[in-house]
Structure 1
Amino acid sequence: MSDDVLSIIPTDPQWQPDRAAAERTAALAADLARDLADGVEVEIDVTWHDALAPVDCGENLERIGCPHCGASIDTEWYGDLLEDHGEDGFATLAVEVPCCGAATSLDVLDYDWPCGFARFEIAIWNPGRDWFDDVELAAVGDTLGHPVKQIRAHI
């Protein structure tokens, strides 16, 4: 069986909220997801990571582009990086891209379906919707106390 996960992460990969803000934000995200799921309860996971954890889009990933030369980066290269870091996460997002050898950061690559990295994540399992709209996403960020972005994974 496959699942869809809508994750909310801070725009700054290193940023983490306090527990109270996280709890308020998870409750808001659950309410917003429930509104479009006809009142059905949704499963929410709130996670603080010790290191930078990848929050990718799973099977939705179609392409990765280089922000320096514009070339496509092999998704297998990205998959190998994720596999190499396993459960430990990333100490740094600094990387040398294979296309042109430029030094860059994993969080600025051009992912076709958004991907990200974070030390804090709210994951909504099978939310019954594709995305939060801009107004809802801004409300989630305001409640958390930091701007956020969303990642939709199909796993």
Structure 2
Amino acid sequence: MSDDILSIIPVEPQWQPEHDAVERVVSLVEKLVPGAGQGGGVELDVRWHDAVTFVDCGSNLETISCPLCQAALDTKWWSDALTDRYDDGFTTLTADVPCCGGTTSLDALNYDWPVGFARFEIAIWNPERVWFSEDELAALADGLGHPVKQIRAHL
């Protein structure tokens, strides 16, 4: 059986919210996602990570391109870049892209579908919705006190 996971993460990979802000946002998620919360069939998983971790989109990932020159990036190069920078978490996301030789961040690459890097995540397992709207994302960001983005994974 496959799973879908809709994750909310801060835009800034190192940022983590206060616990009371998370409680407010979890309450909001429970209102926005049918079946989430106590007694519902949708599982909420709130995670604080000690180091920056990769939040992927699973099999939804289609392409990766350079934000500097827009060239397509080879998935082997990208996979090696992730592996080279990971040591119990990501200590740096800086990378020199092979297409134009420029320096950028792995977080700044253009991903189709979105992925991210974060030390905090709210993962909603098998939600009965695809995405949050822009207004809903703004409300989640206001609740946490920091801009957020969403990642949809299919595993």
Contact (CA 8 Å) 1:30, 1:124: kept in 2 or not? no
How far apart are the structure 2 equivalents of 1:50 and 1:86?
13
How far apart are the structure 2 equivalents of 1:87 and 1:149?
25
Question: What residue ranges of structure 2 are gaps of 5+ in the alignment?
Answer: none
Match of 1:154 in 2: 154
How far apart are the structure 1 equivalents of 2:35 and 2:134?
16
After alignment, is 14-23 or 80-89 more displaced?
80-89
After alignment, is 80-89 or 106-115 more displaced?
80-89
How far apart are the structure 2 equivalents of 1:83 and 1:135?
36
What SS does structure 2 have at the residue aligned with 1:25?
Answer: helix
After alignment, is 5-14 or 69-78 more displaced?
69-78
Over aligned residues, Cα RMSD in angstroms? Answer: 1.9
How far apart are the structure 2 equivalents of 1:85 and 1:95?
9
Match of 2:49 in 1: 49
Match of 1:15 in 2: 15
Identical amino acids, percent of aligned pairs = 63
What is the number of residues matched between the two proteins? 153
How far apart are the structure 2 equivalents of 1:133 and 1:8?
12
Q: Identify, as 1 or 2, the structure richer in helix.
A: 1
After alignment, is 23-32 or 66-75 more displaced?
23-32
For each residue in 1:67-111, what CA deviation from the matched residue of structure 2 results, as whole angstroms up to 9, or x when unmatched? 112110112332344455667120111111122221110111010
Match of 2:97 in 1: 97
The structure-2 alpha-carbon separation of the partners of 1:10 and 1:80, relative to structure 1 and needing over 3 Å to count, comes to: same
Calculate the TM-score normalised by the size of structure 1.
0.89
